[in-house]
Amino acid sequence: MKTIQFIQKSALLVLTIGFTACLKLDANLYNKKKLDAYQLDNYTGEQDFILSQDYAIPGSLIHQFTLQSKSKNESKATTIHAIYIGNLTTIANDTIIVYCHGNKWHMDFYWQRAKLLAHVNGKNKYGVLMMDYRGYGLSEGEPSEEGMYADVDACFQWLKQNGAKDNQVMIYGFSMGSAPSCELTANVSSLSPSKLILEAPFASSAVMAQDGSQLSMSASYFTDLKIDNAEEIKKIKIPFLWLHGTNDNFLNYKTHGQVVYNNYQGIYKTHVLIKDADHSEVPSKMGFDAYLRTLKEFITKK
Amino acid sequence: MKIKFSLLFLLLIFFGCSPVRMVKPLQKRQQIVGSSFGGPLINFAGAPIPIPFTSLFYANGITNNVTVIGGLNTTSLLFGNIHLDASSCINLFYKENKYGISLNPGVQSIYHIRDSKSFGLWPTLDLNGYFHFKNKSSFLYTGVNSWIELKNQKAHGEKVTAPVLPSFQIGYQLVNTKWNHQFEIKYLGIGRSNQPNVVDYIGGAGQGAFGLFYGLHFKF
């Protein structure tokens, strides 16, 4: 009898703990790193690649500033940091790439990638706008899915205030950056980009959970993230370029990128699979010239 | 760029979050309550440690050759998942205090309390051989465990290509009058890449993960 009472009490305790103290894993998803200042070309930490002087950006074309970002459900704005590469006085006429970086650390890590994009179609030809999502780099606050979308939308608002129009703006999402790229293109936002580029995109948090567990487990067992690029892409009509390495051992190109690509139902799509490239190796394995040429052909295609 | 996807360790342990519940059936009417502690081995601060996952279970000897078992994964519960397992341990072959072979057909079910559509069910099958030394009650065991995928489609209509997820285990059960101690090493996710991840799994040639488990059983 005592044993049965012990079992009953233990079960009650366990259930009580379970229902009242649900821990969250989501905070662990974001691989953010705080900085004291952006170093850009002077950054000596780990980077995927370092460009030669051929891709140097004159100091007069590098603009670092802050934005106020507020999602629908927030009462208070969060200060985030952004960098614009280009001429501030010609934003109304320039082609601009909004670069949504991946999950690693901060803009210093992605600085070389942003510089590369500024050289699509010629030296320092295109404007590039990159931001650190809240919690990353110098940006304040804590990361969240809603916050990330608001942060990219804050960049859209800044571009609009500076005269940019929808048809000048391309959105480029790398890895985790594919989530705001799809979300804000598929749904109403402050600006409607004219073309979408996804490099090594997620399909959804469901695919992430299933790839990890190797079983058809629900994403909700692990996360509250609702990222679902594979569904959002169905609403997107603007031209779409997909880049993915065939050796991506983090976001498998078949279970993630291919699903997104197949689900696209818009007016034009094209893709480049880069043989043997791992998750962060698309530009380097492709070759910078080939990478820039591919982007140029896609962006300038009428 | 690799996301800090710490939840991957939990993904892996769902099919390896506890040792074999029961290797050798109990005597008829004998009961056990047990707990287990342990999980996949990771490198942490330069030292290999098992991720500390916990579970509780109850077992009841229906006959001398069949024991039924029910378990609750308590760590999973802390994250809002009601992860239950039910199984039976059936002696296929047994030579008194020498050796035996047992089969554990079972089922794992998981339900997340904030997602009404999250219920999932996976049959499991363990096959273990156990060996007594010098007629002692304690025994060494080894065997395989498999989770079986019932669905033929994953998210977004993708096909399930590997419906059986196998693990291999070897362990020792120290049997005393009232308390049993169980020590088990598992090789989780045989043939599945454990790269990349932020959690530094200790596996073989970038595949799977070794798991280390301890179980404590109280008999009554």
The per-residue pLDDT for range A65-98, each reduced to its tens digit, is 999 999 989 999 999 999 999 999 999 999 999 9
Smallest CA–CA separation between A30 and chain B, in Å? 6
The per-residue pLDDT for range A216-248, each reduced to its tens digit, is 888 888 788 889 999 999 999 999 999 999 998
| Interface contact flag, B165 A215, Cβ < 8 Å | yes
For the record, the structure tokens of B115 come out as 């997602």
Q: Between the CA of residue B195 and those of A175, A253, A281, B191, what are the distances in Å?
A: 17, 15, 16, 12
Chain A contact for B8 (CB, 8 A cutoff): yes
Chain A contact for B148 (CB, 8 A cutoff): no
The predicted model gives B18-41 an average pLDDT of 90
| Interface contact flag, A218 B118, Cβ < 8 Å | yes
Chain A contact for B191 (CB, 8 A cutoff): no
The per-residue pLDDT for range B74-122, each reduced to its tens digit, is 888 888 889 999 999 999 999 988 999 999 999 999 999 888 889 999 9
Cβ contacts of residue B161 below 8 Å, gap of 6+? none
Crossing angle of helices A288-300 and A107-117, in 10° steps, is 70
Q: Given B72, B154, B158, which is nearest A14 (Cβ)?
A: B72
| Amino acid in position B198 | V
Q: What are phi and psi of A97, to 5 degrees?
A: -105, 120
Q: What are phi and psi of B65, to 5 degrees?
A: -115, -5
Q: What is the ipTM metric for this complex? A: 0.80
Per-residue pLDDT for B1 more than 80? no
For residues A151 and A173, the answer to whether their CB atoms sit within 8 Å is: no
Mean pLDDT, 10 residues at a time, over chain A (302 residues)? 57 47 62 92 94 95 98 95 97 97 95 97 92 97 95 98 96 97 95 97 87 80 87 97 92 91 97 96 97 97 90
Which residue in chain A is spatially nearest to B16 when comparing CA positions? Answer: A213
Smallest CA–CA separation between A245 and chain B, in Å? 13
Nearest alpha carbon to residue A135 among A98, A105, A101: A105
| Interface contact flag, A22 B4, Cβ < 8 Å | no
Residue-level pLDDT at B6 = 43
